[in-house]
Amino acid sequence: MKMIKVGMIGFGTIGAGVAKILAGNGEIIRQRLGAGVELVKVADLDITTDRGVKLSHDVLTTSADEVINHPDIDVVIELIGGYEPARKFLLQAIDQGKHVVTANKALLAKHGDEIFLAASEKGLSIGFEASIGGAIPIIRSIREAFVANRIQSIEGIVNGTANYILSKMSDENCDFDIALKEAQEKGFAEADPTFDIEGIDSAHKIAVLTRLAYGTPVPFDDITVTGISGINSEDIECAREFGYRIKLLAISKYDGQAIDIRVHPAMIPIVHPMANVNGALNAIRICDDMMKENILIGHGAGALPTGSAVVGDVVEIARNILSGVGERLPAGSFQGKEVNKTPFKNISEIESEYFLRFSVLDNPGVLSKISGILGKHSISIESMIQRGRGDRGKGVPLVMMCHKSSEKNIQSALKEIEALDVVCEKSNLIRVER
């Protein structure tokens, strides 16, 4: 029986999931592929910790070079994360003539074009389905299922940690800190959750999706990113009263001229399908010129969902090997010569509806001052919530939903409002997406 031999660098949570899947479902893979997939070498700095899956001692090594330079290995899986040495390992594996698979969205967001080019020049395949959405086949959908469609926008709940926190705050009316602590206790959030709660992880993912959807390099550092740490229970409750739920959205929109790409908390109507994607689930909505709207929902993280996506890429590459094919699909979705730089919009250029929360002194004339400034900047108020009196000298919430206006105008108005002596703290702005 023909065997496709695989090496893996990184034996953490996802690596253990990959090993479990190959060991437990090896027979069904063989039946579908027509060949076996054998994990012949696994490298990690720690090869003594019990991962819940048994590998022979001759498979385990502390040296990535033993994987990269192994003469029998067809496919190298990289699961260590980060920029370096992951980038170096992938490029070395490609240079050795090996196909590669990675779940490293941060690396692809920053260095994807370099890695795609290296693989293409060698006629090799690179699989990265596991980098976004766990088991959701979003990469395969864009590269294959939607290949004939002009993608107009992508919106996604692509970070399970942030979604779990916001869901818990909404469902149980608890504060951000409590929800975060529980997410950490359940293993949904890292000890240092910065990348998740501040939107950086989501930004990595939308950068990769934008590259695939529109065939343009993405300047990662130009993406506007706002996390969820500024969301409080008052925002959640007011959103509910207005008929919305708050989600951390990664957004990419292309109008044929320029791309609007950003990550931030957003209010979406409770009737929207993504409003009810809760817990650690992910959801990605793609709008295009043919099918108008498609929403993919599934488990976006975890050893087995992500491991399943990794193994799916390995099997797809194995099919190519068995057929004598190298790079069947361009890694970046577009042929290399068709990749062109597309302008990106500054956040100040967008238009949106807005939720505004102020903390103000409960004094006469406060509302007229704030509404007057908004009106001066061509911002119209749709509805408003004003809470009762607080202690003298302390702020009370004043919440407004505003009709569509420009980001430039809303930011100018907020700067002026926050300079008022009746405003007690920095205001909170949440954009509305429908």
- Give the pLDDT confidence of 398-410 residue by residue, as tens digits: 999 999 999 999 9
**Neighbouring C-beta atoms of residue 154, cutoff 10 Å:** 26
Residue 239 has pLDDT above 80, yes or no: yes
Give 396-399 contacts, CB < 8 A, sequence gap 24+.
396/359, 396/360, 396/361, 396/362, 397/234, 397/238, 397/357, 397/358, 397/359, 398/357, 398/358, 398/359, 398/360, 398/366, 398/367, 398/370, 399/234, 399/238, 399/355, 399/356, 399/357, 399/358
Q: Calculate the CA 257 to chain-centre distance.
A: 24
Q: What is the average pLDDT across 47-56?
A: 92
Residue 393 has pLDDT above 80, yes or no: no
Q: What is the average pLDDT across 388-413?
A: 86
Q: Is residue 205 annotated as a catalytic residue, yes or no?
A: yes
Alpha-carbon distance 76 to 8, whole Å? 6
Nearest to 103, CA basis, from 297, 306, 305: 306
Give all domains of the chain, ordered by start, each with its CATH number: 3-134+303-338 (3.40.50.720), 139-299 (3.30.360.10), 349-432 (3.30.70.260)
| Among the ranges given (55-59, 146-150, 161-165, 188-192), the one the predictor scored with the smallest mean pLDDT | 188-192
Q: Which helix (H) or strand (E) holds 259?
A: strand 259-269
Of 205, 247, 253, 345, the active-site residue reads: 205
- Per-residue pLDDT of 252-280, as tens digits, reads 999 999 999 999 999 999 999 999 999 99
Asked if 179 and 168 touch (Cβ cutoff 8 Å), the reply is yes
- Per-residue pLDDT of 193-234, as tens digits, reads 999 999 999 999 999 999 999 999 999 998 999 999 999 999
Q: What is the average pLDDT across 406-421?
A: 96
